[in-house]
Amino acid sequence: MNYRHAYHAGNFADVVKHAVLSRLVEHLKQKDKAFRAIDTHAGIGRYDLASVEAGKTGEWQGGIGRVS
């Protein structure tokens, strides 16, 4: 299977993932001890939702498009 995130960036699952991750980090910051977060599946980190790839699926419209 060939998966390219540019086609799926900003979709509903992305929004949920980032919301949960943000809450988790905020919770961990309340602890007295240090913690480390390592993103083992990071992509390029920034995706153009006006790109040809994102336009082919339009998944971002049902995700981040509904939030912003």
Whose structure tokens read 């994102």? 54
DSSP 38: -
Q: Mean pLDDT per 10-residue run, the chain (68 residues)?
A: 87 94 95 91 86 95 92
Q: Is the dihedral of CA 23, 24, 27, 32 positive or negative?
A: negative
Q: According to the model, what pLDDT value does residue 7 have?
A: 93
DSSP 27: H
Using a cut of 0.85, tell me whether the model's pTM lies above it. no
DSSP 49: T
